[in-house]
Amino acid sequence: MNILFIGPYRQNDAWGNMSKSLIKTLSKIEGYSLTTRPIFLSGQASGPVDAEVIKCESNKKEQYDILIQHMLPNFMVYDSSFKQVIGITGFETLGCKIWDNSLNFLDKIFVTTEAERKGMSKELQPKIYSIGIANDQTIESKEKTFDPFSFYCIGGNLESRGGVKQALLAYCSEFIVNDPVIFVLQTNNPENANQLIQQVYSELGMYDEDYYPRIHVVTDATGLHEQCNSFVDCSSSLGFNPETVSALSAGSVPIVVSGSGRDEYIKSDSGFITESFKDLVLCPDRPMKEIFTAREECFRPVISSIKQAMRECFSSKFAYLNKSKRAKQTSLEFTHDIRASKIKEILCS
**CATH number of 2-134+334-344: 2.60.60, 1.10.260, 1.20.1070, 3.40.50?**
3.40.50
Q: Whole-angstrom distance between the N-terminal and C-terminal Cα of the chain?
A: 14
In angstroms, the CA 187 to CA 249 distance is 22
Residue 30 CB neighbour total at 10 angstroms: 7
Q: Residue 52 — pLDDT band, cuts 50, 70, 90?
A: confident
Q: Residue 75 — pLDDT band, cuts 50, 70, 90?
A: very high
| 88-112 b/e (C-beta count within 10 Å ≥ 16 → b) | bbbbbbbebeebeebbeebebbbbb
Q: Domain map of the chain by residue range?
A: 2-134+334-344, 149-331
Determine the residue type at 86.
I
Which of 135-149, 196-210, 237-251, 277-291 bottoms out in mean pLDDT, i.e. has the lowest?
135-149
- Quote the Cα angle for 71-74-77, to 5°: 80
Q: Residue 343 — pLDDT band, cuts 50, 70, 90?
A: very high
Q: Residue 44 — pLDDT band, cuts 50, 70, 90?
A: low
pTM listed for this prediction: 0.92
Domains 2-134+334-344 and 149-331 share a fold: yes
* Percent of the chain residues past pLDDT 90, beyond the cut: 82
- Given a cut of 90, whether residue 140 has pLDDT beyond it is no
pLDDT in tens, 102-118: 999 999 999 999 999 99
Provide, for the chain, the percentages of residues in helix, strand and coil under a 3-state DSSP scheme, each rounded to the nearest 5. 35, 20, 45
| pLDDT in the model for residue 143 | 81
Determine the residue type at 330.
T
Q: Domain spanning 149-331: which superfamily?
A: Glycogen Phosphorylase B; (3.40.50.2000)
Q: Could you say which DSSP state residue 45 is in?
A: P
Determine the residue type at 257.
V
In angstroms, the CA 160 to CA 157 distance is 9
Q: Return the bridge partners of 88, or none.
A: 70, 110
In angstroms, the CA 163 to CA 177 distance is 23
